[in-house]
Amino acid sequence: MNKLNRYFNSIMSNQKEIKPAYRTENIKYAVRDIVVLANQAAKSGKEMLYLNIGDPNLFDFITPRHIIETTFKAMLENKNGYAPSSGITEAVKAVELEAEKKNIINVQDVFITTGASEAIDICLTALVNEGENILTPTPGYPLYTAVASKLRMMENPYYLDEKDNWQPDIDDIKSKINKNTRGIILINPNNPTGSLYKADTLQKIVELALEHNLIIFADEIYDKLLFDEKNHISIASLNKDVSCVTFGGLSKNYFVPGFRIGWGIVSGNYSILKNYIEAINKILRARLSANHPEQYAIKTALQEDQSHLIEAKKKLTLRRDITVKMLNSIPGISCVKPEGAFYAFPRLHMEQNDSHFVSELIKETGVVVVPGSGFGQIPGTQHFRVAFLPNEETLKKAYTSIGNFYLKYLEKFAGAAAIK
């Protein structure tokens, strides 16, 4: 052994396992975690039916051509350098106009981000100190709990009421506000339940926010995907003084989740918000900018032809109706009718835990859904989430399989009498 080899051998013995930070311990993203199981089942040659992912482009929803053309043109024009940290002027103005259309009053700042995901991360990071808390909807979108975990923020889940079409439970919210509560998150239309919030529910939340000096984080990423001629109400439109950050983006409404374009709209009273807005902008500057050429798609998407939405809502309404009808016809499953987005959150009336149910379902049938525990739920209740993006034939096949499987599952693991 030469001298150099001996030297390397001696320093290699100093190596120890690299320990990840504690803050990653509680980060879970059930929607993607389930894919590992699905891949194993797919390897065995089973036909797979994917109802787990909220990516419209994996199904028959195609990016409108004019949105691609604007982006391509920007790329050809060499708009490929960094953009301003808050976003290009044209995009910021388009989002301001969108806020006006949504009757959001007292807009104090608008910024463009790498998906709504980045806006959510930045806005919570700019607000919450270790040990403080934000009221987080349960069930809700797992990114919020992942960011909370990263910030070592205390979890403060509030429940959505399944008996009231998954509206936020106002009494539960009231009971959970404490001296360390800084804000409340609302996802409307909701992921994973597909519920749309009523004006009086929103009004009560505004009153609580004003009374307790909370910021409302309104995640409205699905606001154009509504069924049955329903209208969307932006909570920020209800009161000019309430502090609010409204999150939006192109991913879902315009079928470009891979563009990674989102935004935040800060509204309310400037004197109350000014330091917070500066904190957000410090982070925006430090991370340079969101994707540049894709920002040109914002004005085109928001202001030009919207006909893709008419088609999409037609398809989704049909798929929503099949989902609700077929799931409710299975003994021991109930499903509240979604009014927006493309998710349903059916309840399994059984004692077994839903993660076990879902892993057995994937192995036995190839139908991939996400366990309710991945989104949070009232302890003792069991659910799963479906994304009803696949075509009608696939959905019918999947729900027939779920029905047949559920009965066998209960017989095997609990006895059919176990249906609650």
Ligand X SMILES: Cc1ncc(COP(=O)(O)O)c(C=O)c1O
Binding residues for ligand X (CB under 6 A): 54, 115-117, 141, 187, 191, 219, 221, 249, 251, 257, 262
Q: Is 25 in a helix, a strand, or coil? A: coil
In this complex, which beta carbon is closest to ligand X, that of residue 144 or of residue 409? 144
Integer Cα distance of 175 and 357 in angstroms: 33
Report the nearest approach of ligand X to the CB of residue 58 (Å): 13
The neighbour count for residue 13, using CB atoms within 10 Å, is 7
Q: Which residue's C-beta sits nearest to ligand X?
A: 115
Residue 184 or 326 having the CB closest to ligand X: 184
CB of residue 187 to ligand X, shortest distance in Å: 5
What count of Cα atoms within 13 Å lies in the side-chain half-sphere of residue 112? 31
Q: How big is the CA angle at 34 (ends 125 and 378), to the nearest 5 degrees?
A: 65
Nearer to ligand X, 54 or 84 (CB): 54
| Strand-strand pairing, 167-168 and 343-344 | unpaired
Q: CB of 142: closest distance to ligand X in angstroms?
A: 9
CA atoms within 13 A on the CB side of 392: 9
Q: Cα–Cα distance between 300 and 66 in angstroms, integer?
A: 7
CB closer to ligand X, 343 vs 357: 343
SS (H, E, C) 262-275: EEEEEECCHHHHHH
Task: Write down the least CB distance from residue 163 to ligand X, Å.
Answer: 22
CB of 115 to ligand X, least distance (A): 3
- Local structure of 392: helix, strand or coil: helix
**Among residues 289 and 365, whose Cβ is nearest to ligand X?**
289
Tokens of 417: 């009498």
Work out how close the CB of 258 gets to ligand X at its nearest, in angstroms, rounded to a whole number: 9
Closer residue to ligand X, CB minimum distance, 35 or 418: 35
